[in-house]
Amino acid sequence: MAKKPPSFVVPEPPPGFRIERMLPSGRHPILEVFPGMDLLATAEHLQPEAEKRAELLQSTEIELVEEDVWMYVAPWEIPPTARGRWNPVVAPGADCIVVGMGHLRESPAFTLFMDIFHELRHVQQRQGGAKLFEGRVSYVRRPTEVEAYRFVVDEARRLGVTDGFLRDYLRVEWIDDGEFLELLTAVGVPPG
């Protein structure tokens, strides 16, 4: 049976959000991959102080990889929970967001917009001393994840995005149905 088409329209990102989809694998400055994102209202909401915002974006790099992954902040060392399940790119001491080439090239622009700002929130959290890879806490209960998802959900709502799209965006493959409902509740999206 064919998958039912979504009951929502995939939104367009805000004007000025651009993606360089054909860059080669390897490490790139974030503004080379997403030029102009520093000028968006979402960037200002992420970091209201212009000097700190510029520093965040100048110090954060993107590592484009061939692996079939979405996006994640590269850990500084292999997390204990990764052993045997996940082989992440490790970037000791660096602010690096790993992006799968397939995701960059094929995913809707609005999904990439939400993902990159979600991951930038994680970079900020880590810079503030938070542990991003807390294995003893369920993914949907990690304060860092809830905060990052809440930030992008709030930004999407500000841009007029529907709850249907938000539910689809939040339905990630590594959580079960119960966790999905818990995440929806945590970030204020009705189950529908």
Q: What is the mean pLDDT of the chain?
A: 91
Bigger pLDDT: 41 vs 140: 41
pLDDT of residue 19: 98
Characterize the bridge pairing of strands 60-65 and 95-100: parallel
pLDDT at 175 over 90: no
Q: What are 96's strand-pairing partners? A: 61
Average confidence (pLDDT) over 146-151: 97
The pLDDT of residue 3 is 41
Q: Classify burial at 82, counting beta carbons within 10 Å of its beta carbon; exposed 0-12, middle 13-18, buried 19 or more.
A: middle
Burial of 27-58, coded b for 16+ CB within 10 Å and e otherwise, reads ebebbebbeebbebebbeebbeeeeebeebbe
Structure tokens at 141: 């209960």
Residue 3 tokens read as 């998958």
- Cβ atoms of 13 and 113 closer than 8 Å: yes
Report, as an integer, the average pLDDT of 24-28. 97
The ranges assigned to domains in the chain are 19-106
CA distance 173 to 192: 19
Q: How confident is the model at residue 87 (pLDDT cuts 50, 70, 90)?
A: confident
Residue with tokens 């249907």: 164
Q: 7: pLDDT confidence band, cut at 50, 70 and 90?
A: low
pLDDT, one tens digit per residue, over 98-126 is 999 999 999 999 999 999 999 999 999 99
- What is the rounded (10 degree) CA torsion for 176, 95, 63, 150? 30
Residue 8 pLDDT greater than 70, yes or no:
no
The model scores a pTM over 0.75: yes
CA distance 139 to 135: 8
Task: Answer for the pair 114, 151: CB distance below 8 angstroms, yes or no.
Answer: no
140 burial (CB, 10 Å; 0-12 / 13-18 / 19+) is buried
pLDDT digits 0-9 by tens, 32-85 = 999 999 999 999 999 999 999 999 999 999 999 999 889 999 999 988 777 777
